[in-house]
Amino acid sequence: MSRYRFTGIKTDKNTGNRVFKATLYPAIRFSDGDKFIFPIDGARLETLAYKYYKDSTLWWIIATANGIRDGSYGLKPAEKIRIPMNLPEILSDFRKINEAL
């Protein structure tokens, strides 16, 4: 899967080049179904997204829910991580925000 599959493309008016649109992420509200975990040392957001959502490109949901700005570092076992489980609502909010761009 492409990591840019949720990112729109537009044409630059000045150069005619195709460029990626900005991607905005919705606020992730708490849900009764959310899971809280302590990851194993070195776990990455992509691996958690694949484990819980079967889609590693949804790493941004976990990052946004936990205020993580740099998903490239490994997570530490002492960090309690929230895994939002209300995917349909989150993805709907995401599409609404980004369709308006």
Contacts of 61 by beta carbon, 8 Å cutoff, 6+ apart: 28, 49, 53, 84, 87, 90
d(CA 101, CA 97): 7
Contacts of 28 by beta carbon, 8 Å cutoff, 6+ apart: 61, 64, 65, 84, 90
pLDDT at 77: 85
Domain boundaries, the chain: 9-99
Helix, strand, coil % over all residues of the chain, rounded to 5: 35, 10, 55
pTM beyond 0.85: no
> pLDDT of 7-48, one tens digit each?
667 788 888 888 777 778 899 999 999 999 999 988 899 999
Beta-bridged to residue 18, according to DSSP, are: 11
